[in-house]
Amino acid sequence: MNAISPVPPASPVGPSGQAGPVSRVSPIISAAELADALAGPRPPVVLDVRYRLGGPHGRPEYDAGHIPGAVFVDLDAELAGPPGAGGRHPLPDPEDFGAAMRRAGVGAGTPVVVYDADKGWGAARAWWLLRWTGHRDVRVLDGGLGAWAGPLETAAPAPAEGDFTAAPGALPLLTADTAAELARTGLLLDARAGERYRGETEPIDAVAGHVPGAVSAPTTENLDERGRFRAPAELRERFTALGAVPGEVGIYCGSGVSAAQLAVALELAGFTPALYAGSWSEWSRDPARPVATGPQPG
């Protein structure tokens, strides 16, 4: 299977202080652990990435109350490039992304915690981008803001400029062509809701359905009734039943956002998936690309 290029083993931090390819650390942190870390000698940078697909902008919610010290990050403006042929949320220019992270106070060796308030999609997008660009110590707040029992504040902090430099390539990526190949030869998981996968409805993109050969794996099934990630063993059982094999798992969604939450779950389960960043919003723009419908991969 040649669709995914393997991620090299983690290398030491170089002379510039920038991390090389990431090593495996837990991608999540509990609210209690975050509270302890914020009170400790090396508090993390906290990023608030409140985002809802098709919903209101997250900044007013941030201004109404956020975890103390958290910096708001705009998913559409800072975690994605301009929409176009590459999809609705193409990957941002690495230099632009690095600049946004430095403005938020992110340093090469600074722990980072990201959170949102809705399914973990926005937070996971920030987590994935930081990991992809070489940051070693970034985690998603498990359960999001709803799990936080501490105080909230309304004042926006003014963090000192960080020194993080984005060095993309630490996590694997898929193109439309390699995603299609992986759907034939390995496992390509579709993170969208089942009705969108089956082609019963498509509220956003021009064409309904899924990449032929892709397997349905909605992000909602990664979480328990509290909105927290299921146990690693439970997630591994889920993905193994879907056909996951190390080194042969790809993921996509509507525009590359919710699939990042699937990436968190897969990493908890012990897999390192390759993301098709353009996802369905790129795939469906090309009328020459085949489309499957119904409950089976096709």
Q: Please give the positions annotated as active site.
A: 253
Phi, psi values for residue 84, rounded to 5°: 175, -145
User: Given phi > 0 = left and psi -120 to 50 = alpha, else beta, which region is 263?
Assistant: alpha
Alpha helices in 48-193 (DSSP H): 59-64, 75-78, 94-103, 121-132, 176-185
Q: Strand 249-252 vs strand 187-190: parallel, antiparallel, or unpaired?
A: parallel
Q: How far is it, in rounded angstroms, from Cα 165 to Cα 253?
A: 28
Within a 10 A sphere around the Cβ of 261, how many other Cβ atoms?
28
Residues facing residue 187 across a β-bridge: 249
Q: Three-state DSSP class for 183?
A: helix
Are 142 and 107 a contacting pair, CB within 8 Å?
Answer: no
Measured CA to CA, the distance from residue 173 to residue 256 in angstroms comes to 11
What does the chain come to in residues? Answer: 298
Nearest-angstrom CA–CA distance, 142 and 134 = 22
In 3D space, the residue among 91, 271, 275 whose CA is nearest the CA of residue 179 turns out to be 275
- In contact, 134 and 8? CB cutoff 8 Å: no
For the sheet containing 215-216, what is the strand order? 173-174, 274-276, 249-252, 187-190, 215-216
CB 191 within 8 A of CB 261: yes
